[in-house]
Structure 1
Amino acid sequence: MTSGVKIPINYTEAAETLKKLLKLSGSPVAFRFATKKEEIPEGMQKLDKTIRHCAMIGLARKEGKIFYALAENHECNGGAWSLGLKEITETLKNGDFYFKLGKFESSAACKRTIDRVAHLNSHDTYATLYAPLEKTPFDPQVVLIIATPWAMLKLAQSTLFRVGGRINAEFAGIQSVCADACAQTYLTGKVNFSMGCDGSRKFSGIEDGELVLGIPAEILPEIVEALRVVTTAPGSKPGGK
């Protein structure tokens, strides 16, 4: 694996710790934005169908699939736009898309939301890369975790373990896995918790009792280290399955 970080990270060990301590039903997912073809690891296969980004995350999380996707593989235009693969569509930009889906009182309310959705510049991304964290052939930029509220509680405590403070999550009930967990996390370098939107819950297997989190890969080791402490701390309630 060609390293994209200065300090190597043991992704296999981190994944196993996350799965064990958080009682995950699937794998943490390694995700990366590739800006050019040369950044795709040799031998990594292109996805052979057109689906949504959130469904791609589901393939890595639940089925252990390792692959990359080009713009042509992304079915959801909103997701492809937020990930920097495509231009924003006119109906998404002016608010009509989500207004017609009944998500907002007016197209103006929708536009105010879309204008604040995290996104990379259009066409900055050549491909998006996916793998279960324990088998990733590339250094991820974001690690996604889909888990129960209890697990998210422990991850929140782990985030604040060293320096304390508050967590300010950014979400709007739409574009949860693409914009909130991937683009927002990548652009800010901060963990971001999200609710899981209707689309991702419908197409990627996120259950009613699960939430979504994006972790900047650079801070994964300190999150894992803190997690070992907070999950066994006095007064820490054990999580269910």
Structure 2
Amino acid sequence: MTDYAKISATLKEALHLTGSPVAVKIVLSEDKLPAGVPEIEETVRHCRMVSLAREGKVFYAPDSKHQCGGGAWVLGLREIGESMESGEHYLKLGKYSSLGASKRTVYNVPALPQDTYATVYAPLEKATFVPDVVIIFAKPFSMLKLAQSTLFRLGGRIYPEFSGIQSICSDATAYVLLNGEPNFSLGCDGSRKFSGIADEEMVAGFPAERLEELADALLQVTAAPGSKK
């Protein structure tokens, strides 16, 4: 088993995180739920669930406990709603100048297949399950160190995928799981309003398979002579 507690401690210290990195798992059937993990009592958005885990809570959430239809859709819990699919939802929110602009954005939102039974959350150090994605909230300088760590072994460029909507559910969760690549996002109005992301924070999602590599690289990057201390 990967030592998630050790990796979490490294991320917290090196990145000066407020709260924990969050382990997220997509479960396809009831019998695959991690043993001993309780169902969340309240009905809230995925972005709020991630924040609750960041604060220390461990739980799972079936579709009935997901308040946000858009988040439940991209996480594979339910079909896309009519107003979302038509573009009307974001047009009414004033996010786009036309129905076409709203549709084009929605059509390009990464979404999981509609076969998810539940989503599972824990602070990384408390994860008793193998996560699919680990989500990190941090300030821009810490995100710089994460970006540099991502490129430490092979170099290259990073091409973040985001559109200013559905940042925690799609940008940091669904996209990462679908593509197996880290992703950085500026957040969105919904997540900043409902989940507790600070105005000065960004969000990033990482495939769980790359956690050990990321933590090792982070220690080297932050200690490098060229890094701002």
Same fold (TM over 0.5): yes
1:134 corresponds to which letter in structure 2? E
Q: Could you state the TM-score of these two structures normalised by the residue count of structure 2?
A: 0.99
Distance (whole Å) between structure 1 residues aligned to residue 13 and residue 53 of structure 2: 18
CA RMSD of aligned residues (A): 0.6
The 5 A counterparts of 1:215-230 are 215-230=206-221
Residues 62-94 of structure 1, C-alpha deviations (whole Å, 9 max, x = no match): 2x0000000000000000000000110010001
Counterpart of 1:199 (choices 190, 194, 208) is: 190
Counterpart of 1:17 (choices 10, 17, 26) is: 10
Residues 105-162 of structure 1, C-alpha deviations (whole Å, 9 max, x = no match): 011101001001000112x100000000000111101000000001100000000000
The 5 A counterparts of 1:78-227 are 78-122=70-114, 124-227=115-218
Alpha-carbon deviation of 1:235?
A: 2.3
Counterpart of 1:70 (choices 32, 42, 62) is: 62
Q: Which runs of 5+ in 2 are unaligned?
A: none
2:8 corresponds to which letter in structure 1? A
SS of 1:231 mapped into structure 2: helix
1:218 corresponds to which letter in structure 2? E
Alpha-carbon deviation of 1:57?
A: 0.3
Distance (whole Å) between structure 1 residues aligned to residue 117 and residue 128 of structure 2: 18
1:102 corresponds to which letter in structure 2? G
SS of 1:131 mapped into structure 2: strand
Alpha-carbon deviation of 1:39?
A: 1.2
Distance (whole Å) between structure 2 residues aligned to residue 39 and residue 167 of structure 1: 34
The equivalent of 1:4 in structure 2 is none
Alpha-carbon deviation of 1:43?
A: 1.7
Alpha-carbon deviation of 1:191?
A: 0.1
Q: Which runs of 5+ in 1 are unaligned?
A: 1-7
Distance (whole Å) between structure 2 residues aligned to residue 203 and residue 233 of structure 1: 37
Q: How many residues matched?
A: 229
Alpha-carbon deviation of 1:54?
A: 0.2
Distance (whole Å) between structure 1 residues aligned to residue 195 and residue 86 of structure 2: 27
2:9 corresponds to which letter in structure 1? E
1:56 corresponds to which letter in structure 2? M
Distance (whole Å) between structure 1 residues aligned to residue 197 and residue 89 of structure 2: 23
SS of 2:223 mapped into structure 1: coil
Distance (whole Å) between structure 2 residues aligned to residue 30 and residue 190 of structure 1: 16
The equivalent of 1:3 in structure 2 is none
